[in-house]
Structure 1
Amino acid sequence: MVIHLPGELIESSVFSAVMQDLVLMHTFGIRLLLVAGSRPQLNQQLKMRNLSPQYKSGLRITGTEELQCAMKAAGLVRFHIESFLGRGIINSPGRNRHVNVASGNFITAQPVGVRNGIDYKYTGEMRRLNVPKVVSLLEHNDIVLISNIGYSPSGEVFNCLSEKVASKCASQLQSEKLIFLHEGEELIDIRTNQRVQALILAQAQEYLYLTRNDNAVSRNFRSYLEQSLYACMNGVTRSHLVSRHVDGGLLQELFTRDGAGLMISKNIYEGVRMAKTSDIPGIMRLIQPLLDEDVLVSRNQEQIETNVDTFTVIERDGAIIACAALQLYEDKFAEMACVAVDPSYRSLGKGNALLGFLLRKARSSGVDKVFVLTTRTSHWFMERGFEIATIDQLPISKRMTLDLKRQSKVYMMDISSKRALDEKELLLQMH
């Protein structure tokens, strides 16, 4: 897991609490790579030398004196973080309180160079992380700490943007999570007046585009979103933006049902859409072998035509490669039925994509619980979050029409919490 620690955090009242949360996560066995920013500390160093920060197109120009200030600021921040983490868990009764923090020259960098006629001098951008070295340290139970200072193979020193360092480290490590600690901004869904807890990549991109000229969106928040997008498009499973002002916010985001921040993840639903009448032959082709083997409840083409509006399909190159139906019932129940995936695509996550899409569709329809009836695929559903249920737990109208002779087993999933649904969706991506 890669966590970006902004320089503003170092000077805040919650710094010590965040350090304790990191140590606690470390004791849980979570491998941590920390990337420390030092923007306010650099500006303080410049002020002490009667220098003013210079920016062009949102990018800092780093001259010789500015570079000396940047190196000193990064060193002070690193020392501060190391000293707090090294204390271990305060008031721990155990003996193994010590936490080893490994910091060093783990990244190579190159100059930003001249852009639009502006020489950015010693402002740099990260090229490569020493992945084998970092992985070795993490495997030896060290916390790895990286600053925003990078070095070229020839020994030149560069002042890099720490947010970009964090996203590149996460992508080159293929980290499961990238976390940014921000000022506390929230996105509000104007339809429900509720805090937005999760965005897929396309939604995050659209938000950045629509707010490109909105001064109400802070530069740092935009940067965190942009780097979250970069990371998720380059192998990171998901990114989280968590307010650094929320006591225990990191732990809430990672270990509680509703979280405390904004989660950004990939879209696993490419090619998924609602079925049309023209899809019926493709649906029948998929389900016929399963009907012949009595895996699915008997259905003929006329029944599929009557209920085609309940079907969702995955299309690829004009062919239907997966399908499933979602039938709504009273008391906020829904049944997922007639699940079929072309054998050629069963190992490519298409069933997971279909399941995730239908769970989202059910939730948007006001459903709290989704159930399935199966005779042969119980383990597949259990691996994806469904739990064993009984016939008595089904809605009354379903019980009245249930074919008991099939002796189907009942499995159910609670999707009443949107955040819990987000986590289940991410679980599907890992299968």
Structure 2
Amino acid sequence: MQQSELDFINTLRQSSRYIEQHRGKTCVIYLPGRFLLSRDSVTQFSQDVGLLYNLGLKIVLVMGASPQLDHAFSEAKIDWRLHHQFRITPTELIPLFQQTIGLLRSQLEATFSQANCQQPNPPTLVSGNWVIAQPKGVIEGIDFQHTGKLRKIRHQSISDCLDSGQVALLTPIAYSLTGEVFNLNTLEQACEIASAIEADKLMIYGSPQQLKDLPKQLSIPQLNRIMSRPANNEQARLLTQVSHTNNKVKRVHLMDQDNPSALLLELFSRDGSGTLIFSDRYHQLRDASIEDVGGILGLIEPLEQDGILVKRSRERMELEIDNFIVIERDQLIIGCAALYLNDDNMAELACLAVHPQYQGQELGSELLKAIEVKATENGANKLFLLTTHTHHWFIEHGFNLANVSVLPDKKQSLYNYQRQSKVLVKTL
């Protein structure tokens, strides 16, 4: 069997649990206009949405159009004014606005039809007047005219559309109760719709500037800290908008708009492709402090007694506490792990433990990911560990069995041959 075939089989096996997790879930996907500029990206995205649809996901697409509108008005030699990054939309520009959005939507629908012609059950894109708009109004003396904001979302109608087996598509165009046409901010629209229908996931394609220096995962407290010191104004606007959804949408995924494979990687791979913002966990992962020594010792003592972990004294724990991270819930330490750095770009993972009452909640995976991030940030390109009981779990998470000889020299000299620990290594 060729390596490519083995890779495919392993990937399929890894993704199987995610397929079941996502079945029947509702997902709102925001497509910025810049993403839609690439025909290849749109074709691949259309195929991927067709796959998600056939795997049982309910999908809402919200389509932006900023660069397309810029191009259309530039070609028409029309200057479209901005105020606080929002377009001012006068009445005379509405026909060209509708024409540009209509053309872009038609192109997307055509691509969907072509990309999914081989699907056993191809998805159908459906649009509707699900969003009721109202004028944005006069701000700082500036009348935004036909630039609008959301007044009401007919969320039950959207849910009915999804339940009937359709893919819902929304654009920047929305209408008021009096029939006026308005230009809406589509990122805001995507976030509000996700909240209104209580979507399981909101997936947003963002620019490199918006995603700059964001970690793989963010809890709400961590999100708030980053919002207090964002990398740039674009990131600040994105995170501020996303933060408004946290009461209703438990998981927000931020993906690179320049990576056409991001959608499937984010949903069906262990490490994802972008940044996950979650509000459905009632715990905090953080660096350990000296006050955590007692909690960590209480957590690992049963494992030490069973011979699963090497015994650590309180004195040693106090000296090495800066190497530890912990998961805390309601002032109880329910998980821990330690990272020890070496001079040869190999780092050691040690003392990974999760409280028995909280096992089965992916906390071990969360600790491992955090350790991998810290190791990479400190220049390590490989992570190793010694274990006597749990090597299967680590193999499932990307580690490979190795010989003692691969360990750093200092670690080899301390290896306990009576304990016969298995050596596992993962390339970061």
Q: What TM-score do you get using the length of structure 1 for normalisation?
A: 0.68
When residues 255 and 397 of structure 1 are mapped into structure 2, their CA distance, relative to the original with a 3 A threshold, is: same
Alignment pair present for 1:301 and 2:314: yes
Counterpart of 1:58 (choices 64, 67, 85) is 85
Match of 2:378 among 365, 378, 394: 365
Task: Give 1:244-259 correspondences, 5 Å limit.
Answer: 249-251=259-261, 255=265
Would the alpha carbon gap of residues 367 and 141 (structure 1) be closer, same or farther in structure 2, given more than 3 Å must change? farther
Query: Does 2:299 match 1:286?
Result: yes
Q: Which moved more, 1:131-140 or 1:43-52?
A: 43-52
Offset from partner CA, 1:328-358 (integer Å, 9 cap, x none): 3464333322233445655666544433332
Judged with a 3 Å threshold, the aligned counterparts in structure 2 of structure 1 residues 273 and 211 are, in CA distance, closer, same or farther, namely same
Residues 44 and 308 of structure 1, relative CA distance in 2, 3 Å threshold: closer
In the other structure, the counterpart of 2:114 is 87
The answer for unaligned runs of 5 or more in structure 2 is 1-26, 267-272
* Alignment correspondent of 1:125: 149
Letter in 1 for 2:353: A
Partner of 1:387: 399
Q: Deviations over 1:392-413 (max 9, x none)?
A: 4651543443334445444443
Does residue 102 (structure 1) correspond to residue 114 (structure 2)? The answer is no
What pairs up with 1:334-353 in 2 under 5 angstroms?
Answer: 334-343=347-356, 346=359, 350-353=363-366
Work out whether residues 132 and 174 of structure 2, in 8 Å CA contact, stay in contact via their aligned partners in 1.
yes
Q: Are 1:28 and 2:51 matched, yes or no? A: yes
Residue 23 and residue 141 in structure 1: after superposition, are their counterparts in 2 closer, same or farther (change >3 A)? farther
Tell me the SS of whatever aligns to 2:310. coil
2: CA distance, partners of 1:44 / 1:300: 67
Partners of 1:324 and 1:338 within 8 A in 2: yes
Q: Counterpart in 2 of 1:356?
A: 369
Q: Distance in 1 between matches of 2:240 and 2:307?
A: 50
1:357-396 CA-to-partner distances (Å, cap 9, x unmatched) read 322222223222223333444455455x143414446515
DSSP 3-state at the match of 2:257: strand
Instruction: Classify the secondary structure of the residue corresponding to 1:296.
Output: coil
Q: TM-score, normalised by structure 2?
A: 0.69
Question: CA contact under 8 A between 1:242 and 1:253: conserved in structure 2?
Answer: no
Match of 1:326 in 2: 339
Residue of structure 1 equivalent to 2:257: 242
CA distance in 2 between counterparts of 1:117 and 1:22 reads 42
- What is the RMSD computed on CA atoms of the aligned residues? 4.6
Q: SS state of the match for residue 298, structure 2? A: helix
Query: What is the alpha-carbon distance in structure 1 between the residues aligned to residue 119 and residue 325 of structure 2?
Result: 57
Going from structure 1 to structure 2, the CA distance change for 1:288 and 1:7 (only over 3 Å counts) comes to: closer
Q: Tell me which of 301, 304, 311 is aligned to 2:324.
A: 311
- Distance across 2 between alignment mates of 1:282 and 1:41: 56
Report how many aligned residue pairs link the two structures: 384
Residue identity in the other structure for 1:106: W
Paired with 2:185 and 2:425, the residues of 1 have a C-alpha distance of: 47
Q: By how many angstroms is 1:82 displaced?
A: 1.8
Task: Tell me how far apart the structure 1 counterparts of residues 216 and 353 of structure 2 sit (CA, whole Å).
Answer: 29
Match 2:169 to one of 145, 170, 174: 145
Matched, 1:401 2:411: no
CA distance, structure 2, for counterparts of residue 117 and residue 341 of structure 1: 57
More moved, 279-288 vs 343-352: 343-352
Specify the SS of the correspondent of 1:291: helix
Q: Which runs of 5+ in 1 are unaligned?
A: 190-195, 213-218, 244-248, 257-261, 416-431
Contact 1:150 1:157 in 2 (8 A): yes
SS of match in other structure, 1:158? strand
Deviation at 1:199, TM superposition (A): 8.7
Contact 2:227 2:236 in 1 (8 A): no
